[in-house]
Amino acid sequence: MKSILSLILIFLISSNLFSQNASLNFQMEGKLKKNETCLFYIGGQQYSPRDLSKERIDFKAGTVEQISLMKLTKRGRVLGIKDFWIVPGESTFTGTLDPFHVELDPINEYQSFQNEINNAISLSTKLEIIESNLENIVSLSNLITISSKLESEKLEALIEQIPPSMHQNQIYLQLEDELLKNKLLENEEVLTKSKKGEVFTAFELENKDGEIVTLEDLKGKPTLIEFTFTGCAGCVKILPELREVYDQYEGKLNIVSIYSDKTRKSFENNNPVYKKELVIWTSLWDPTDFVSRVNQVNTYPTFILLNEHGEMIDKFLIIGNGKVKRKIAALNLD
């Protein structure tokens, strides 16, 4: 998702309510360029380390935490990704920024099990290991990773075998979302992507107040849909221009941001002070990525413009400043 400005996004998923002291030490080789930055999230907190060769981050951790390290371009294109499991205490990341290669030291029991799954040659072997350890949080996370390769019936059968003690875990809830996604994508009629001149994909998504918003709710005036996610640097950069458009065409144009965040916590808490001052339009949560996947959104931010009938009239990316304003000005809404 991006190029020119690179960032590393680290997203933590807690598996335990009880927290203990933990530290991440970065000892990476290489430096970020002048036009690059680094972002990562730990327990909902955003960090921007300046020097990945000697950075140290202290935080509170549960019994085990899953961390995904991604190297991204300015527009959100993933250049590299590595997942790790860490436990309370000291953990160190070593490796290189370019090429993106990361190792964890020391290797704990959860990471050791992850390595066993990673080393499995075939999907069937991975699945066999996962199915034999469904009480393990690492297995559930890897089941999410391969869920799109499984038929809904198989995935549903595996989910039913997961012990009740795991049912309140965020990863288990995400598995249920993946099952829903699989069922939707197996429906060829629903899978058809929107085309110019055709009515946009029907959806029912929650806003930050927990209210359901549908495509029907947006009809009656043109709508600008932004596809985004928490931590998207390019999306933050475009916010001032979006706010200008919102202020200029208030009452004449809908603006809707659809977030592909995996957890409700990320979606609900995605507005630091800077964003809160700018984002006053509708934000919707798409935890299964259904709307973005159906419409082949692979780069963020991506914009889709609908007319007052809910029909798609344009789809575009942002290259340079002023593009959104020019697209909306062409609608002659003044």
Instruction: Name the E strands within the chain.
Output: 7-14, 20-29, 40-42, 45-47, 56-61, 65-72, 78-86, 89-96, 101-105, 204-207, 212-214, 223-228, 254-259, 282-285, 302-306, 312-317
Mark whether 165 and 48 lie in a shared domain. Answer: no
Q: Which of 47, 77, 111 is the last residue of a domain?
A: 111
Question: Does residue 198 register a pLDDT over 80?
Answer: yes
Q: Are residues 62 and 82 in the same domain?
A: yes
Percent of the chain with pLDDT over 70: 79
pLDDT in the model for residue 20: 87
Q: Rounded to whole angstroms, how far apart are CA atoms 302 and 25?
A: 34
Higher pLDDT, 299 or 87: 87
Beta bridge partners of 280: none
Residue 251: pLDDT band (50, 70, 90) is very high
Q: Which domain holds residue 128?
A: 120-185
Do 201 and 320 lie in a common domain? yes
Q: What pLDDT is recorded for position 181?
A: 67
Residue 1 lies in a domain: no
Model pLDDT for residues 104-134, shown as the tens digit of each residue:
999 999 999 999 999 999 999 999 999 999 9
**Would 60 be classed as within a structural domain?**
yes
Please determine, for residue 239, whether its predicted confidence score (pLDDT) is greater than 60.
Answer: yes
Which of 66, 84, 111 is a domain's end point? 111
**pLDDT value at 13 more than 80:** no
pLDDT digits (tens, 9 = 90+) for 271-287: 665 566 678 899 999 98
199, part of any domain: yes
pLDDT value at residue 190: 47
Q: Examine the domain organization and report whether 128 and 242 are in the same domain.
A: no
227, pLDDT greater than 80: yes
Residue 89 domain flag? yes
pTM as predicted: 0.57
Same domain, 217 and 237: yes
Residues 255 and 172 in one domain: no
60-89 pLDDT, tens digit each: 877 888 887 777 665 555 667 788 898 999
49 and 67 fall within a common domain: yes
Give me the mean pLDDT over the 254-262 stretch: 91
Asked whether residue 211 is assigned to any structural domain, the reply reads: yes
Q: Is residue 53 situated within a structural domain?
A: yes
- Residue 90 φ then ψ, to 5°: -95, 130
Structural domain count of the chain? 3
89 with 146, same domain: the answer is no
Same domain, 57 and 180: no
Query: Do 100 and 11 lie in a common domain?
Result: yes
Residue 310 lies in a domain: yes
Choose one of 139, 156, 185: the last residue of a domain: 185
- On whether both 235 and 316 belong to a single domain, the answer is yes
Whether 2 is covered by a domain: the verdict is no
Q: What is the pLDDT of residue 186?
A: 60
Question: Is the same domain home to 223 and 285?
Answer: yes
